[in-house]
Every structure is written in C-alpha cells, then in structure tokens.
Amino acid sequence: MIVSENVCLSTLRLSEKFILLLILSAFITLCFGAFFFLPDNSKHKRFDFGLEDVLIPHIESEKEARHSSRQVIHGVGAHDEHRHSHSVAFGLFSFLCSALYIACIRLARLCNYKFVYFLITVVHMYSVNVNIYILSAGSSQMGATIVDALDTLYIMGLHDEFKDGQEWIEQNLDFSVNAEVSVFEVNIRFIGGLLAAYYLSGQEVFKVKAVQLAEKLLPAFNTPTGIPWAMVNLKSGVGRNWGWASAGSSILAEFGTLHMEFVHLTYLTGNPAYYQKVMHIRKLLAKMDRPNGLYPNYLNPRTGRWGQHHTSVGGLGDSFYEYLLKAWLMSDKTDTEARKTYDDAIEAIERHLIRKSNGGLTFIGEWKNGHLERKMGHLTCFAGGMFALGADGSPDDKAGHYLQLGAEIAHTCHESYDRTVLKLGPEAFKFDSGLEAVAVRQNEKYYILRPEVIETYWYMWRFTHDPKYRQWGWEAVQAIDKYCRVSGGFSGVKDVYSSNPTYDDVQQSFFLAETLKYLYLLFSSDELLPLENWVFNTEAHPLPVLHLGNITLPGSETQQ
C-alpha cells in the first residue's frame, strides 16, 4: 500500500524529519542552480562526459565496441555551443529534480514499507503534496522511471544518481509479485534498460535482474502459434490479450519488438530459448500472405490468422519495422534475412502509405480495409530516423532516396510542431480538407513529452550534419522548458493549440529514457555512442553490435 508523505513523516523522529527536509532542500537548490547559473558558455570550449570503458562480454578482441574512458565533445561552434550548454543545463536540471524520487526511496526505507516504490511507470509531477512523489501504473506498480532512466544518467555523467538507482534496484526490484504486465513494455523499458545499464557500467546486477525478468515473460509465448500474449502475470504465468484488440489478436508492434533484447539475452546467458522464440515469430510471419505486401497490425495467436486489415507505421505497427532493420544492424549486418524482410516491407509502405500533400509535405498514412487514411501520428515520426538509418545498405542504390525520404518526414513532423501555439507536436495530425499537419480532434491535440520527432532530428543530424536539425531540436528544448516544466519536473499538456495549456500531471518514463537522451545526443559529438558500435532499442536503450564472427548463437541454425 502506498503511504502518504504526511502520514509517513509523522512516524519519523524530529531529527529524521530535519535531515529529510535538508536533503529535499538541497536537491531543489541544485536544480535551480543548475538551470539558472550554469557557467557562461564562453568559458567552456569542450565537454567531458566521463564514460567508462565498456566491455562486450566474451569478445575481448572487439576494442572498437568500447568507449574510451573520457569522451570529449568537440567541433561545436560558439552559437551551437551555447545551445549545447543550455541543453546540458536542461538535462541536468531535469535529472536533479528527478533525484527527488531517490529521496523518496530513502523516505520509504525510513518508514519501513518495502513496496512503496516497488514498481514505477509514470510520475505525477504537478500536483501539490504527495503526488509529486507517488509513481503508479494502474493496479500494478513497477520501477520503470528508475530503470528507464539509468542509462541516460550514465551517458550524461550523472554517476552518483546512477549509483542511487543501482542501489535501489539491488535492494528493492523483485519480480515475484502477483502483477499483470505488458510483455512489450516490460521488454523495451525494463529488459532493454537493464541490459543497456549492464553494457555501459559492467555491473553484474543489471544482467542478473534482466534475466530474472525475462524468465517471467517466457510463459507468454505458450500459445498455439508461439505468438505471445500481450500481457502475462508475473507470478502465475497466465497470459491474455487486450480486450480491445481485433478478434482477440496480438499486436504486431508488440510481438515484433522483442528481437534485439532476446538475442542479447541468449548471447549473455547461453540459453537458446530467447533466440528461438523471436526467430519462430519471424519464420511464421514469412510464411503468411500479406495484403498488398503490408503487415496488418493484428494477428490471432490461437489461429495464426490476421485480424482487421489495418496497417500503420505509427501506433500498433511502428517498432516491428524498426526491429527488422536493427536486427540486421545489431548482427554486424550479417542477418541478411532481417534486412530483406525490412526492405520488402518498406517498399510496400512506400507504395501504399506514403503520399505528398497538396502543400508539398510528405506524410505516412494508415491503411484501413483498402482505404488510405490521410492522418499521421506523432509515433510515426520516428520513421524519418529509421529511413536514414537504413539508407546505407538499401537495394538498387537507393541510399540517397531513403536519406531524402527521412529528411522529408523530419520536415513534415517539424511542421506539425511549428503550426501549433506551443511549438509542440500534437498526438496526431491530418492532411485532409485543406488542413495539413494540424490536429482536428480534441483528443489528438495533446503532447505527452514524446520523443519520436527528436529521435528523427538526431538520426538526421548524425547522417547529414545539417544545422537545421540542431535548430529544430533547440526549438523543442525551449518549448518543453517553457510549457512543460512544473514544480516537480515535467508534465504533458492537453492542448498544444491553446495559449493557456492545462497539464495532464504525468511525467512518462520515456521522457527520461528517450526525449532527454536524444536531445543530449543531438548536441553531442558523433563519438558519443557511435552508430557503428551501438544500436538503440525502441526505448532508446543502447545495445552493442554483436561482432560474433564465427560464433554461433545457441539455438540458431545459421551463424549470426
């Protein structure tokens, strides 16, 4: 049971109350000091991130896959350097404020209630009183805010906060509870976050916790087809699908976004089960007929048949395509089957879903039962970065074409931001009836600190070094800071077209895992997490490229 701050404080001795208030006051002072009093950028010609050596287990010869012990940012002009300074201040401010939840963990320990922070998904950041601190996810509670933010803390050089998170995980993160969780969300946030923290820091506890949790997910695959259920109970292993999904189906983006993490689990443990589960999914999909070459978003795990013929590169479909490309990249470009599947899928998407508006904006629509809906979601904006990332290695010498396509998508998504009052993008926007890149319905006008547009800016910057991507990223920094920053952190807003926005009172864990990380990387050197050595999962957790050479993964039929 979650105990309120006031009730808990009443159980503490006066000295403990004084110490706690002192700690909280110090955090708040540091937050505002970091944001408002960062030294003048003219005094900072270089930025040092202090990344420690990263050892890829079992591959001693892969020196290029390690970070140098001191990564120095360079090559940033004075104007951009000021933006980088402000971006660092912005990130540091956020994380010093997010350290309040570390103080709350300590408060929980003083009050002797074990599970108050057992599992955390979102943070209520705006409400006065205890809601600043309480983090919840409906009936189940998982520590996603802590786990999801770990690698961002490490990359930003906030090692004290990282160690606090590690300590909490060592002492409190236990998966033997009677809780039903999303297989997809747990995989990308928890397993991905723990694996990234392990690879960056070398701390064994993160690998151990990742494997413990992965074992809890395996019963979800016990279906007639091997397509996993959307949800599984961590204690009983009983799985089920979302009640709203078409004909009891599993979701393409959910069962198709397991490959990266599960391959790494097999690699680290030698247990072939993880690799075999995800390869079975790929083989099953390869045998199925696809309408117009498109993958519908729904697949029934009992019958192996498609549900409603709805195809989207946004919600319900998005990261399936992303993981096909990243499976190839993560294999050191040896998984040619994954690359071929990706290329075929993108060809069908370009033929049936990608259009240009009357105003010249390239967008990706959604296919619904033979009809193209001229609407694009914020989630779909990740695709600009995906096209750029997959340009090298594309068939028929189309690298330039896909890089240009990525640039066009980035431009469209920037327009969706620029055409709002707050300069923050809506959840979805139309290209119909004279409207372009503008939300129409009230329930599509909100912004919940999503990262996809920033993600595409970062990839486009890495591949083109066009300064407009840093300019656009800086615009987003200013808008988030102006309209989303509240007393306890950052909150989503309900209407980006309103000059007096109301808050949704939620700081999603992906804001720390993705949005701030991509902003930080956007203003950093290419030598920080170079893309030839690292592949980011769909929650922005970096996993190393597996230069396996002649090593065969357990359970695989061919070398990866």
Cα–Cα distance measured from residue 327 to residue 543, given in angstroms and rounded to the nearest whole number: 11
Residue 396: HSE in the Cβ half-sphere, 13 Å Cα cutoff:
7
Specify whether the CB–CB gap between 209 and 172 falls below 8 A. Answer: no
| 548/367: higher pLDDT | 367
Categorize the per-residue pLDDT at 84 as very low, low, confident or very high, splitting at 50, 70 and 90.
low
Closest CA to 135 of 484, 509, 448: 509
- The DSSP output letter for 68 is P
> 3-class SS at 88?
helix
Show the tokens assigned to 201: 């820091």
Q: Which of 14-23, 97-106, 190-199 is the least confident region?
A: 97-106
Cα–Cα distance measured from residue 299 to residue 255, given in angstroms and rounded to the nearest whole number: 10
Residue 370: HSE in the Cβ half-sphere, 13 Å Cα cutoff:
0
SS3 content of the chain, % helix, strand, coil (to 5): 50, 10, 40
Query: Which residue type is seen at 110?
Result: L
Mean pLDDT of 239-262: 97
Q: Which residues are catalytic?
A: 185, 318, 427, 452
User: Residue 72 forms beta bridges with which residues?
Assistant: 48
Cα–Cα distance measured from residue 68 to residue 223, given in angstroms and rounded to the nearest whole number: 45
Show the tokens assigned to 406: 């990525």
pLDDT over 60 (residue 117):
no
Cα–Cα distance measured from residue 124 to residue 136, given in angstroms and rounded to the nearest whole number: 8
Q: How far is CA 344 from CA 181, 256, 354, 382, 385, in A?
A: 33, 16, 15, 19, 18
Question: Alpha helix locations (H) across 356-398?
Answer: 383-389
* pLDDT value at residue 62: 31
Q: Report the largest interatomic distance among the alpha carbons of the chain, rounded to a whole angstrom.
A: 73
Cα–Cα distance measured from residue 190 to residue 209, given in angstroms and rounded to the nearest whole number: 9
Q: What is the 3-state secondary structure (H, E, C) of 391-422?
A: CCCCHHHCHHHHHHHHHHHHHHHHHHHHCCCC
Q: What angle do helix axes 144-155 and 159-172 make, rounded to 10 degrees?
A: 150
Cα–Cα distance measured from residue 277 to residue 262, given in angstroms and rounded to the nearest whole number: 8
Residue 17: HSE in the Cβ half-sphere, 13 Å Cα cutoff:
10
Show the tokens assigned to 492: 């989503």
| 309/47: higher pLDDT | 309
Categorize the per-residue pLDDT at 90 as very low, low, confident or very high, splitting at 50, 70 and 90.
low
Q: Which domains does the chain have, with CATH numbers?
A: 140-353 (1.50.10.10)
Cα–Cα distance measured from residue 125 to residue 300, given in angstroms and rounded to the nearest whole number: 38
Core vs surface per residue 178-215: b (16+ CB within 10 A) or e: ebbbbbbbbbbbbbbbbbbbbbbbebebbbebbbebbe
pLDDT in tens, 210-236: 999 999 999 999 999 999 999 999 999
- The DSSP output letter for 528 is S
Cα–Cα distance measured from residue 212 to residue 170, given in angstroms and rounded to the nearest whole number: 13
Query: Which residue type is seen at 424?
Result: L
Closest CA to 178 of 223, 237, 109: 237
pLDDT over 50 (residue 161):
yes
* pLDDT value at residue 94: 44
* pLDDT value at residue 22: 52
pTM of the model: 0.82
pLDDT in tens, 385-422: 999 999 999 999 999 999 999 999 999 999 999 999 99
Specify whether the CB–CB gap between 46 and 71 falls below 8 A. Answer: no
The radius of gyration of the chain from alpha carbons, rounded to an integer in Å, stands at 23
Q: Which residue ranges are tagged as binding site for Ca(2+)?
A: 538
Categorize the per-residue pLDDT at 126 as very low, low, confident or very high, splitting at 50, 70 and 90.
very low
Cα–Cα distance measured from residue 231 to residue 550, given in angstroms and rounded to the nearest whole number: 37
Q: How many CB atoms lie within 10 A of CB 23?
A: 16
Cα–Cα distance measured from residue 438 to residue 431, given in angstroms and rounded to the nearest whole number: 8
pLDDT in tens, 322-339: 999 999 999 999 999 999
Mean pLDDT of 474-495: 88
Q: How far is CA 36 from CA 93, 126, 162, 536, 560, in A?
A: 9, 21, 23, 32, 50
Q: What are phi and psi of 84, to 5 degrees?
A: -65, -40
Cα–Cα distance measured from residue 305 to residue 321, given in angstroms and rounded to the nearest whole number: 19
Residue 519: HSE in the Cβ half-sphere, 13 Å Cα cutoff:
30
Average pLDDT value for the chain: 80
* pLDDT value at residue 508: 86
* pLDDT value at residue 83: 56
Cα–Cα distance measured from residue 354 to residue 126, given in angstroms and rounded to the nearest whole number: 39
Specify whether the CB–CB gap between 102 and 165 falls below 8 A. Answer: yes
Residue 542: HSE in the Cβ half-sphere, 13 Å Cα cutoff:
25
